[in-house]
Amino acid sequence: MLSLRLYMLQRITALLMAPLVVGHLAVMIYAIQGGLSAAEILGRTQGSVAWFLFYGLFVVAVSIHGAIGLRTVMHEWGGLKGAALEAAMWIIGFGLFALGARAVWAVTFA
Amino acid sequence: MSMTRGITSRAHPLWLAYILHRLSGVGLALFLPFHFWILSLALTSPARLDGFLAFTEIGIVKLAEFGLVFLLAVHMFGGLRLMAMEWLPWTPPQKTLAAGATALSFLIAALFLMQAV
Amino acid sequence: MTDRTLKVTIDRGGDAPGVQTEFDVPAYENQTVLDVVSWVQQNADPTLSYRFACRVGMCGSCAMMVNGVPRWTCRTHMSKVLVGDTVTIGPLRNLPVIKDLAVDMDPFFDKWVAAEGVHHGALTRDDPIAPIDAETPARVEANAGIECINCSVCYAACDTVTANDDYLGPAALQRAWTLLNDAKDEGRQAILDAVSGNGGCHNCHSMGSCTAYCPNDLDPMSAIAGLKRETAKSFFKWGR
């Protein structure tokens, strides 16, 4: 049950993430050559402001986008509505953000 | 839910595009917390992270990763197709675009897989 | 008349246990689904309730689910839907069933009004008739949707209508779009507000069943996309 505001947030975060996804796919395809290792990943991301901003923005956007997307599914397929639906959406949003922010921090400036 | 009360009016391409988009979104959303948690192991236990990363050498894991990349690509290209239909003034042949988006996603995922093996 | 007998299953919605649902109907050449339903009511079970009016594909009253697909039964040849010798007929989906094959159309029309699918006129009978140029892009856009006869086939075909009680549905939203493009209509903001709420156009997932099954070859999906475009523009400009 999307109103205009949620719809716009959904679409805008989608547009925001398009270049981020392309970048992420490119990095992944590059990184898996020769096998993955923590050292290789951290060697690239540790101390990097650029990667912090890149993945930081990604986490913010995906938390909003995912929470709104799942909200629709929870309503249409799960029958959730009213306050329960709102609460579930916010919990998912904050949950994704918390986990994501921690991951970004872990690989950049921790 | 009376969704499944003998309805068969779904056998058309745009409906398949819709269900693929929905399922890929749900799949990605369920995968993300796991993905984030593993990465933050770099904070608490890098050795454990390496342990997990070593799993990625196993064939079945590579296949799962291919699946995930496919889901990501399918969801994004499907979404961009939707937004083009909604916000751009032209209305292109929808079925062709839907098929094109899926094909492109598959290609990208395949590229990933080829690099991974 | 042939010797062939069709096995017709009629899904009689509502709470009448023990009513007959399986019928043996003689096959005829050039037989429509409406012919079959009428035969059942006239020869096998006079208690069967169903709707039809024009029986020539103009009024939309005979819309029913045929093998899970919403159709005008008067315009559906049996040869097109028979699976071997069987067919299943049921009341339109997504609407409350009154009895057997007759559904309550009230929710459909209530949502039509809720989407501001009403003419917002500014002139009176004393004003001259407003000249309308049929070639302007807006008028062409509006004309694409005005042939809707409110048959509810699109409403029955839409999975989002099933899953979301508030969703206004393809027909109502298409009408709102035609009015938005109508130079005579003064209710632009009212329409945009009506289609931006919890049941509005933004719930559409563009699965396209409405366009796929409209018996008049209309395109509600594109009309709804137009509404999304206009509300997005309005959002960027005015924040609402």
Q: What is the pLDDT of residues C155-193, one digit of tens each?
A: 999 999 999 999 999 999 999 999 999 999 999 999 999
Same-domain pairing of C169 and C220: yes
Q: Which residues of B touch A31 (CB under 8 A)?
A: none
- CA nearest neighbour of C225 among C193, C195, C197: C195
Of C103, C119, C152, the last residue of a domain is C103
Per the CB < 8 Å rule, is C196 touching A2? no
Domain at C128, CATH number: 1.10.1060.10
Give percent of chain A with pLDDT exceeding 70: 99
Instruction: Spell out the residues 6+ positions from residue A22 whose beta carbon is closer than 8 angstroms to its own.
Output: none
State residue B3's pLDDT score: 38
Average pLDDT over residues B79-100: 75
- Our count of domains for chain C comes to 2
H and E: helices and strands count for chain B: 5, 0
Distance in Å, alpha carbon of C119 to nearest chain B alpha carbon: 25
- CA nearest neighbour of C146 among C124, C167, C128, C171: C171
Interface with chain B: mutation pick from C87, C94, C205, C235, highest number of B CBs within 10 Å: C205
Distance in Å, alpha carbon of B70 to nearest chain A alpha carbon: 11
State residue A35's pLDDT score: 75
Of C62, C78, C103, the last residue of a domain is C103
Residue scoring higher pLDDT (B51 or C186): C186
State residue B111's pLDDT score: 75
Residue pLDDT, tens place only, B92-112: 566 567 667 777 777 777 777
Distance, CA of C222 to CA of B91 (rounded, Å) = 8
Q: Show the tokens assigned to C72.
A: 């005008």
Whether C209 and chain B come into contact, CB under 8 Å, resolves to yes
Same-domain pairing of C137 and C228: yes
Q: Which residues 84-113 in chain C show a CB within 8 A of chain B?
A: 88, 90, 93
Q: Which residues of A touch B37 (CB under 8 A)?
A: 99, 103
CB-CB: which of B6, B14, B22 is closest to C208? B14
Same-domain pairing of C232 and C117: yes
- Compute CA C12 distance to the chain's CA centroid, rounded to the nearest angstrom: 20
Q: Which residues 53-82 in chain A show a CB within 8 A of chain C?
A: 72, 75-77
Distance, CA of A61 to CA of A69 (rounded, Å) = 12
Same-domain pairing of C146 and C211: yes
Neighbours of chain A (3+ CB pairs under 8 A): B, C
Same-domain pairing of C210 and C148: yes
Per the CB < 8 Å rule, is B15 touching C207? yes
User: What band does A34 get if pLDDT is binned at 50, 70 and 90?
Assistant: confident
Same-domain pairing of C127 and C233: yes
For chain B, list residues whose CB is within 8 angstroms of any CB belonging to chain C: 1-3, 5-10, 12, 14-15, 17-19, 21-22, 82, 85-87, 91, 94
Residue range B13-116 forms a domain whose CATH class is mainly alpha
Q: Helix, strand, coil % (nearest 5) of chain B?
A: 80, 0, 20
Interface with chain A: mutation pick from B4, B18, B40, highest number of A CBs within 10 Å: B40
Average pLDDT over residues A29-48: 82
Of C87, C103, C119, the last residue of a domain is C103
The full set of domain ranges for chain B reads 13-116
Q: Which residues of C touch B81 (CB under 8 A)?
A: none
Q: Which residues 188-227 in chain C show a CB within 8 A of chain A?
A: 196-200, 202-203
Residue A100 in this model has a pLDDT that exceeds 60: yes
Residue A33 in this model has a pLDDT that exceeds 90: no
Same-domain pairing of C114 and C160: yes
Domain at C29, CATH number: 3.10.20.30
Give percent of chain B with pLDDT exceeding 70: 79
Residue B4 CB neighbour total at 10 angstroms = 8
Q: Which residues of B touch C222 (CB under 8 A)?
A: 85, 91
Residue pLDDT, tens place only, A7-18: 999 999 999 999
Average pLDDT over residues B16-28: 94
Residue C3 CB-density burial (10 A; 0-12 exposed, 13-18 middle, 19+ buried): exposed
Domain limits for position C40: 5-103
Mean pLDDT of chain A: 91
Q: Show the tokens assigned to C68.
A: 């899970």
Q: What is the dihedral of CA C36, C158, C143, C137, to 10 degrees?
A: -150
Average pLDDT over residues B80-99: 74
Whether C141 and chain B come into contact, CB under 8 Å, resolves to no
ipTM of the complex: 0.89
Full-model pTM: 0.90
Same-domain pairing of C84 and C117: no
Same-domain pairing of C20 and C39: yes
Whether C228 and chain A come into contact, CB under 8 Å, resolves to yes
CB-CB: which of B29, B57, B80 is closest to A35? B57
Taking one residue from A and the other from C, the number of pairs with CB-CB distance under 8 angstroms is 34
Per the CB < 8 Å rule, is A14 touching B46? no
Residue A64 CB neighbour total at 10 angstroms = 21
What chain A holds in terms of domains, given with CATH numbers, is: 4-108 (1.20.1300)
Mean pLDDT of chain B: 79
Query: Which chain A residue has its CA at the smallest distance from B108's CA?
Result: A25
Distance, CA of C93 to CA of C153 (rounded, Å) = 9
Same-domain pairing of C115 and C12: no
Q: Which residues of A touch B56 (CB under 8 A)?
A: 32, 35-36
Distance, CA of C170 to CA of C202 (rounded, Å) = 12
Neighbours of chain B (3+ CB pairs under 8 A): A, C
Which backbone phi and psi does C71 adopt, to 5 degrees?
-145, 165
Low-confidence ranges of chain C (pLDDT < 70): 1-2, 14-16, 240
Q: Which residues of C touch B82 (CB under 8 A)?
A: 206
State residue B115's pLDDT score: 66
Same-domain pairing of C99 and C144: no
Same-domain pairing of C212 and C164: yes
